[in-house]
Amino acid sequence: MIKAVLIDDEKNALEMLEWQLHTYCPQVQVVAICDSADKGIAAIHQHRPELLFLDIEMPKKNGFEVLQAFPSPAFETIFTTAYNQFAIKAFRFAALDYLLKPIDADDLVNSLKRFEHRSDGRFKQQLEMLMQHYHQPDVLPEKVSFATQQAVHFIRPETILYSESDGNYSTLFFANGTRLVVSKTLKEVEEVLTHYNFLRIHNSFIINLKHVNRYVKAEGGSIEMANGSQLPVSRQRKEEVMKALNL
């Protein structure tokens, strides 16, 4: 069983999340339900959970202040939040799980599956990245985080040549010839990498503009990358691509 503590100042949200966990995630044992940050901190000390479900926006102390009370956390966290563009952007940079309220049951189940498959213990490093970007949203981190089914990888965006869609996953292709399949759709990868001079050129491809060799006009247009790969440019995106390449 996974011991979990729920922390949220909204009583209805707590009750609904407890019911959803009981109904859809029987492997989770809810050991404490807390309607304030201080109660949550006390419950973590008392129960030593493996997992927190933590609301961000709470009065007096927010969710980040709860985590700051544990410099070396022995638990992981799934954040629950109403829509907050800065928080969500920060979660994506750090490859941390979050659930938007009202919480969808399928999203909850998938978050638990990802938690159960994680084994590399990099939550502290992810949390540091999250805090940095949340408090300084205009400062881009030197590295971004991408999760695979086995681990979380911290990657310098400039080392990525391009990314290709693979259904619910994406493959990152690197300048050194390696590749990595990550647990994000191409849209989710784009939401992180677009800040680093990446551009969507096709439904299946995002490229790093710094690694473009040339634009090939034949057969509707394609991009040749630094490793020689020829990637198609969709008709709908051709004008945007030409503009980005100053053509």
| Residue 247, pLDDT score | 74
Give the CA angle between residues 42, 133, 212 to the nearest 5°.
145
Q: Note down pLDDT in tens along the chain; length 247 residues.
A: 999 999 999 999 999 999 999 999 999 999 999 999 999 999 999 999 999 999 988 888 888 889 889 888 888 888 888 866 656 766 766 657 788 888 999 989 988 887 887 655 677 777 777 777 676 767 777 888 888 877 888 899 999 999 999 988 999 999 999 999 998 899 989 988 998 999 999 999 999 999 999 998 877 789 999 999 999 999 899 889 989 988 7
Q: Which residues does 243 contact at the CB level (< 8 Å), separation at least 6?
A: none
In order of their start, the domains of the chain are 2-135 (3.40.50.2300), 156-244 (2.40.50.1020)
| Residue 36, pLDDT score | 94
| Residue 113, pLDDT score | 85
Give the CA angle between residues 93, 94, 95 to the nearest 5°.
95
* Closest residue by Cα to residue 23 from 33, 31, 15: 15
| Residue 90, pLDDT score | 64
Q: DSSP E strands: which ranges in the chain?
A: 2-7, 28-34, 51-55, 76-81, 98-100, 144-147, 152-155, 160-166, 169-174, 179-182, 198-202, 205-208, 212-216, 222-225, 230-232
Alpha carbon distance 170, 191 (integer Å): 13
* Closest residue by Cα to residue 62 from 141, 130, 152: 130
